[in-house]
């Protein structure tokens, strides 16, 4: 039960980090990674506790999508820092190109 509390607190911290700390784009990406890592650990522990070790396809899919999200996020951050010369989210505007 203590491990469940740790995983839920990781998920909560990542979610609250996205909601409250939106100053830099990198901090948003790190909070998204924390969300996905907590989901990955939670599903892995749930698969181990239920004894269904053959059903790890969803866990591997989540890990793959997490790696893809990280690479796309970092490429967006590089493009953002090149065009706006900073990674501040407040400097973004949908009306600028």
Query: Where do the domains of the chain lie?
Result: 2-91
Each residue's pLDDT tens digit, 15-40: 999 999 888 888 889 999 999 999 99
Each residue's pLDDT tens digit, 43-86: 888 888 887 777 678 888 888 999 999 999 999 889 888 888 88
- On the question of pLDDT at 90 being above 80, the answer is no
Taking domain 2-91, whether its CATH number is 2.60.260.20 is answered by: no
Please tell me the distance from the alpha carbon of residue 34 to that of residue 41, in angstroms, as a whole number.
11
Please state the pTM of the whole predicted model: 0.83
Please tell me the distance from the alpha carbon of residue 25 to that of residue 4, in angstroms, as a whole number.
29
Q: What is the 8-class DSSP label of residue 96? A: -
């Amino acid at each position: 039960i203590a491990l469940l509390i740790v995983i839920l607190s990781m998920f909560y911290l990542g979610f609250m980090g996205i909601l409250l700390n939106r100053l830099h784009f990198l901090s948003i990406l790190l909070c998204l990674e924390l969300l996905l890592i907590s989901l990955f650990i939670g599903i892995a522990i749930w698969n181990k506790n239920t004894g269904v070790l053959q059903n790890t396809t969803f866990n591997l899919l989540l890990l793959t999508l997490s790696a893809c999200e990280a690479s796309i996020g970092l490429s967006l951050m590089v493009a953002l820092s090149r065009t706006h010369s900073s990674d501040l989210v407040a400097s973004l505007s949908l009306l600028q190109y």
